[in-house]
């Protein structure tokens, strides 16, 4: 079981105060999405401790906590040390979900950053990496394991070698990048899709305003008397998938939860379906002429 709205924690610059996490718990969020690469594990851990102290929650078990294996640790023997470091950062005994952040392996012992040299990208070793992820689950360090940014092709490969199949694929999904084929594939295989950048990461370095400024969204929001963000999030929810949304603003974190007592019409869906599709610019971290992924097609196995 996983709450359908998760609270995103990635930001630039990295958050330096835990208050917004306490506000989120107070507002009702019970699912938090972090990663070693976000630099938010420690702050989230402190907030969980404080939330228990203040009585906002009785124990850590009331929360669903996801974290992710960074690419410099995507080496068979580094996965266990990585999850142990993550648990130590969070001050927790177990995660609810541990994901391979990207199907990318970077040379080990490098700084944990998205701004790495593309020549540092090594061939990804899916079998050995996944075997070590399975060991994390067997040892009880995480209740479940999954992946992020995997294509249908990579999921097929993973399902053929996994002894414990992945429960989640966390990928970009929003009205501007609807991923119908991947969502259908995951549903057929019993893999839950979690949508990152459901608002297109507006105002964030790796995103754009293409989603939030879309005229169709504006039109539907006006008709329904909702905000553009609420329409965008409701659409993701109505795809039968999980939302991971980030806001560090006290009003907006509440606004983003008010998507359950109304619905989009068939006409709204038809209009949204016709929106021209384009991925967000997040892939720029990995694609470059000096690395193995020269083009977007290379990175995404041609699944554009």
Ligand X SMILES: NC(=O)c1ccc[n+]([C@@H]2O[C@H](COP(=O)([O-])OP(=O)(O)OC[C@H]3O[C@@H](n4cnc5c(N)ncnc54)[C@H](OP(=O)(O)O)[C@@H]3O)[C@@H](O)[C@H]2O)c1
Cα–Cα separations (whole angstroms), residue 115 to 148, 172, 209, 232, 291: 19, 20, 22, 29, 13
Q: Which is nearer to ligand X, 137 or 247 (CB)?
A: 247
Measured from the CB of residue 119, what is the shortest distance to ligand X in angstroms?
21
> Binding string, 69-108, against ligand X, x = CB under 6 A?
--------------------------------x-------
Cα–Cα separations (whole angstroms), residue 15 to 44, 69, 220: 10, 20, 33
> Binding string, 19-38, against ligand X, x = CB under 6 A?
--------------x-----
Q: Site for ligand X (CB under 6 A): which residue of 86, 197, 208, 214?
A: 197
253: number of Cβ within 10 Å: 21
Task: Answer yes or no whether residue 114 interacts with ligand X by CB under 6 A.
Answer: no
Residues in region 213-252 near ligand X by CB under 6 A: 227, 229, 244-249, 252
Angle at which helices 228-237 and 215-224 cross, to 10°:
90
Task: Answer yes or no whether residue 166 interacts with ligand X by CB under 6 A.
Answer: no
Q: How far apart are CA 224 and CA 268, in angstroms?
A: 10
Q: How far apart are CA 208 and CA 194, in angstroms?
A: 20
61: number of Cβ within 10 Å: 9
Using CB under 6 A, which of the segments 103-111, 126-134, 198-206, 283-291 binds ligand X?
A: 198-206
237 in catalytic set: no
Helix (H) or strand (E) holding 5: strand 5-8
Q: Which is nearer to ligand X, 36 or 87 (CB)?
A: 36
- The HSE-up count of residue 69 (CA atoms within 13 Å, CB side) is 36
Nearest to 291 by CA among 120, 110, 96: 120
Q: Would you say 82 and 69 are in contact if contact means Cβ atoms under 8 Å apart?
A: yes
Task: Answer yes or no whether residue 255 interacts with ligand X by CB under 6 A.
Answer: yes
Q: Which is nearer to ligand X, 86 or 247 (CB)?
A: 247
Do the annotations mark residue 101 as ligand-binding? yes
Catalytic residue among 38, 94, 98, 237: 38
Nearest to 38 by CA among 198, 280, 281, 205: 205
Q: Which is nearer to ligand X, 50 or 255 (CB)?
A: 255
Q: Which is nearer to ligand X, 97 or 244 (CB)?
A: 244
Measured from the CB of residue 49, what is the shortest distance to ligand X in angstroms?
20
Instruction: Tokens 């506000």: give the residue.
Output: 23
Q: Report the binding-site residues for substrate.
A: 101
Q: Can you give the binding site for ligand X, defined by CB under 6 A? A: 8-10, 33, 101, 148-149, 170, 196-204, 207, 227, 229, 244-249, 252, 255-256, 282
The residues annotated as belonging to the active site are 38
Q: Report the binding-site residues.
A: 101
């Amino acid at each position: 079981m996983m709450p359908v709205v998760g609270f995103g924690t990635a930001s630039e610059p990295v958050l330096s105060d835990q208050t917004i996490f306490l506000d989120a718990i107070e507002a009702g969020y019970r699912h938090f999405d972090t990663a070693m690469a976000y630099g938010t594990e420690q702050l989230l851990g402190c907030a969980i401790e404080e939330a228990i102290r203040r009585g906002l929650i009785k124990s850590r078990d009331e929360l669903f906590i996801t974290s992710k294996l960074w690419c410099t640790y995507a080496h068979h023997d580094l996965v266990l040390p990585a999850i142990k470091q993550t648990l130590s950062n969070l001050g927790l005994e177990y995660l609810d979900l541990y994901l391979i952040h990207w199907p990318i392996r970077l040379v080990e012992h490098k700084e944990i950053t998205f701004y790495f040299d593309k020549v540092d990208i090594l061939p990804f070793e899916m079998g050995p990496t996944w075997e070590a992820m399975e060991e994390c689950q067997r040892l009880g360090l995480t209740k479940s394991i999954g992946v992020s940014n995997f294509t249908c092709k990579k999921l097929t490969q993973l399902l053929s070698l996994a002894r414990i199949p992945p429960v989640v694929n966390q990928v970009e999904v929003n009205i501007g990048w609807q991923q119908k084929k991947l969502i259908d594939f995951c549903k057929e295989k019993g893999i839950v899709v979690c949508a990152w950048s459901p608002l297109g990461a507006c105002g964030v370095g790796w995103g754009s305003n293409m989603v939030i400024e879309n005229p169709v969204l504006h039109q539907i929001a006006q008709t329904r008397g909702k905000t553009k963000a609420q329409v965008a999030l409701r659409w993701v929810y109505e795809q039968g998938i999980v939302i991971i949304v980030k806001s560090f603003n006290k009003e907006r974190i509440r606004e983003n939860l008010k998507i359950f007592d109304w619905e989009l019409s068939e006409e709204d869906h038809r209009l949204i379906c016709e929106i021209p599709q384009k991925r967000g610019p997040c892939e720029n971290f990995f694609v470059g002429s000096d690395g193995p992924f020269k083009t977007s097609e290379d990175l995404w196995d041609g699944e554009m």
